[in-house]
Structure 1
Amino acid sequence: MEAQTIDIFDGAAVYFPLMNGRYEVKPGMLPFGCDLGNGQADKQIFQIDDNFHNYRQAKLLARGERLSKYYQTCNYSQAVAGAIARLIIQRLIHEHPQNFEFQQTANTCKFHSHLTQETLYLNSDWELERVSAEDNPVFPSYISTLDALAAQIQEDLTVICRHADGSNWLSAVHLCYPNHWSAEEKIGRDFAAIHAPVAGMERINRRSEAIVNTMIAREPTVRFAWGLSKDTRLNHHPEPPPHVSASQWQGRKFDLKSPKLYLRIERQVIWGLPEYNTAIFTIRTYFRDCSVIKQNLVLRSKLYAAIESMTAESLIYKGLVESRDSILQWLR
Structure 2
Amino acid sequence: MNIDIAVARYFPLDNGRYEVKPGMVPLSKCFGNGIVDNYVFQIDNTFVDYRNTKLASRQEALNKYFQTSNYSNVVDAAVIKFIIRRLTDEHPNYFHLESFTSGIALNCQLTQEKLYFDKDYHLQKVDIPKSTIFPSYICSLDALAAQVQEDVTVICRANNTNWVGAIHLCFPNHWSAEDKIGKDFTTVHAPVAGIEKINQRAQAITNTMIMHQPMVRFAWGLSTDTRLNHHPQPPLNTPAEVWGGRKFDIDNPELYLRIERQVIWGLPECDAAIFTIRTYFRDVAEIKQDSCLRQKLVSAIKSMSLDSLIYKGLVENRDDIIAWLEKP
- TM (norm. structure 1) is 0.96
Cα deviation, residue 22, structure 1: 0.1
1:257 deviates by 0.7
Cα deviation per residue 1:215-264 (whole Å; 9 max; x = unaligned)? Answer: 00011100000000000000000000000011111110100011000000
Q: Distance in 1 between matches of 2:7 and 2:226?
A: 16
Q: Please show how residues 91-170 of structure 1 align to structure 2 within 5 Å.
A: 91-163=86-158, 165-170=159-164
Q: 1: distance between equivalents of 2:146 and 2:195?
A: 31
What does residue 31 of structure 2 align with? 36
Distance 1:93 1:310 in 2: 41
5 Å-filtered alignment, 1:10-21, equals 11-21=6-16
**Corresponding residue number in structure 1 for 2:240:** 246
Q: Give RMSD over aligned pairs.
A: 0.8
Within 5 Å, give how 1:140-289 maps onto structure 2.
140-163=135-158, 165-289=159-283
User: Would the alpha carbon gap of residues 99 and 283 (structure 1) be closer, same or farther in structure 2, given more than 3 Å must change?
Assistant: same
C-alpha separation in 2, matches of 1:260 and 1:61: 25
- Kindly state the Cα deviation for residue 10 of structure 1 after the two structures are TM-superposed: 6.7
C-alpha distance in 1, partners of 2:23/2:108? 33
Q: Deviations over 1:140-160 (max 9, x none)?
A: 000000000000000000000
Equivalent in the alignment of 1:88: 83
Equivalent pair of 2:95/2:106 in contact (CA under 8 Å): yes
Residue 66 of structure 1 aligns to a residue whose secondary structure is helix
Tell me, in whole angstroms, the C-alpha distance in 2 between the residues paired with 1:122 and 1:214.
31
Counterpart amino acid of residue 146 in structure 2: A
The alpha carbon displacement at 1:211 in A equals: 0.3
Report the AA paired with residue 35 of structure 1. C
- The answer (yes or no) to whether the contact 2:69–2:181 under 8 Å persists in 1 is yes
Is 2:7–2:46's contact at 8 Å kept on the other side of the alignment?
no
Shift of 1:108: 1.2
Q: Which runs of 5+ in 2 are unaligned?
A: none
Asked if structure 1 preserves the Cα contact closer than 8 Å seen for 2:6 and 2:45, the reply is: no
Match of 2:42 in 1: 47
- Cα distance in 1 for partners of 2:102, 2:162 equals 33
Within the candidate set 13, 21, 27, 1:26 is matched to 21
TM-score (norm 2): 0.97
Report what 1:5 is aligned to. Answer: none
Give 1:318's match in structure 2, choosing from 312, 321, 324.
312
**Percent of counterpart pairs with the same letter?**
59
Q: Aligned partners of 1:206 and 1:246: how far apart in 2?
A: 35
1:52-85 CA-partner distances (Å, limit 9, x unpaired): 0000000000000000000000011111101000
Q: Please tell me whether residue 297 in structure 1 is matched to residue 324 in structure 2.
A: no
After TM superposition, give the deviation of residue 105 of structure 1 in Å.
Answer: 2.7
Deviations 1:266-315 (A, max 9, x none): 00000000010000000000000000000000000000000010000000
Q: Which amino acid aligns with 1:265?
A: I
Runs of 5+ consecutive residues of structure 1 not aligned to the other structure:
1-8
Q: Distance in 2 between matches of 1:134 and 1:52?
A: 20
Aligned mates of 1:39, 1:57 — CA distance in 2: 27
What code does the residue aligned with 1:74 have?
S
Q: Secondary structure at the match of 1:27?
A: coil
Measure, in 2, the Cα distance between the counterparts of 1:10 and 1:174: 25
Encode CA deviations 1:84-130: one digit per residue, 9 max, x unaligned: 00000000000000001111233211001100000001100000011
Distance 1:284 1:100 in 2: 19
Count how many residue pairs are aligned between Structure 1 and Structure 2.
323
* Greater mean deviation of Cα atoms: 129-138 or 211-220: 129-138
